[in-house]
Amino acid sequence: MCEMKVIGRPGSSFVGRVELVLKLKCIEYEYLEEDLDNKSELLLKSNPVFKNVPVLFHANRPPIIESLVIMEYLDEIRPDIHPILPSNPSERAQCRILAYTFDTLYYPWTKEYMLSPENERKEELKNMIIKGMVMLEEAFVTLSKGKPFFGGDDIGYLDIVVGSFLGWFRHFGIVFGFHAITEDRNPKLSEWVKSMWSHEVIKSTIASHEIHVKWRKTLLDRLEVCIPA
Ligand SMILES: N[C@@H](CCC(=O)N[C@@H](CS)C(=O)NCC(=O)O)C(=O)O
């Protein structure tokens, strides 16, 4: 029996982060698929405040929520295999600041971009995302020190935080013709995207375009339910 279990949902980048770390650290886990339209007792009991996925269970310890917290937890309990956070405290702090920025700004912008029916707002968000990716390019240059990943020679914390959204970036390109990362604006990040997609663990974890299409449809359907007639 696996001592690690993850409640997840296909196409969730946040769940993808956790699965990426588990795979990179060669930790076996059981995946418990959640129906977010009909939440299980297990989810409601283990994450009663946010009621979202991922949730990690490790043996009999209390459940752990929030993808970034879970990532750090896994790094702490398995520091010997594929460490993901840099050992230098200042670089670690930079990584955490960028992850926080990504989750509190860039992610809500991308979510609103894909759900907004208004072209004017979409255009505004597109420009905000583009600026965000230019800032991320600068951070990449500093942190990667000329190596292919934020983490250096191999995938690290920020590669996972940002890379878990590569499926959505691909989706935006296919569906809206919007490329958040381009060679002229983000030459280094474009190389990074190629390195990421050629990494076996990334290829086998990021959900397919079809799953992203379904997930976006679910989110749009939910919005319709919420709009008063
Ligand atoms: N900050 C959370 C965000 C998690 C999140 O938003 N998960 C979504 C799936 S991608 C979810 O479970 N949403 C609940 C719902 O749709 O009802 C994290 O990093 O884990």
- Helix-strand-coil percent breakdown of the chain, rounded to 5? 60, 5, 35
Q: Whose CA is nearest to atom 10 of ligand 1?
A: 12
Tokens 């569906």 label which residue? Answer: 175
Q: What is the pLDDT of residues 94-113, one digit of tens each?
A: 999 999 999 999 999 999 99
Domain 4-77 of CATH type 3.40.50.10420: no
The tokens describing 192, both together, are 């990074």
* Cα–ligand 1 centroid distance for 14 (angstroms): 7
- Would you place residue 127 in the very low, low, confident or very high pLDDT band (cuts 50, 70, 90)? very high
Q: What is the pLDDT of residue 224?
A: 75
* Cα–ligand 1 centroid distance for 109 (angstroms): 15
Tokens 């460490």 label which residue? Answer: 83
Answer yes or no: is pLDDT of 160 > 70. yes
Give the residue, out of 40, 47, 52, 104, with the most ligand 1 atoms within 8 A of its beta carbon, to mutate for a pocket test: 52
Other residues' Cβ atoms within 10 Å of the Cβ of residue 218: 14
The domain spans of the chain are 4-77, 89-213
Q: What is the pLDDT of residue 226?
A: 62
Distance CA 68, CA 70 (A): 5
**Straight-line distance from the first to the last Cα atom of the chain, in angstroms, rounded to the nearest whole number:** 49
- Would you place residue 28 in the very low, low, confident or very high pLDDT band (cuts 50, 70, 90)? very high
Tokens 């292919």 label which residue? Answer: 148
- Closest ligand 1 atom to Cα of 65: 20
Q: Tell me what percent of the residues of the chain surpass a pLDDT of 90.
A: 93
Answer yes or no: is pLDDT of 199 > 80. yes
Answer yes or no: is pLDDT of 228 > 60. no
Q: Whose CA is nearest to atom 2 of ligand 1?
A: 66
Question: Mean pLDDT, to the nearest integer, of 48-62?
Answer: 98
The tokens describing 152, both together, are 């250096």
Other residues' Cβ atoms within 10 Å of the Cβ of residue 93: 11
The tokens describing 142, both together, are 């500093």
Within 6 A (CB) of ligand 1 lie 9, 12, 14, 36, 52-54, 66-68
Domain 89-213 of CATH type 1.10.1370.30: no
Distance CA 20, CA 26 (A): 10
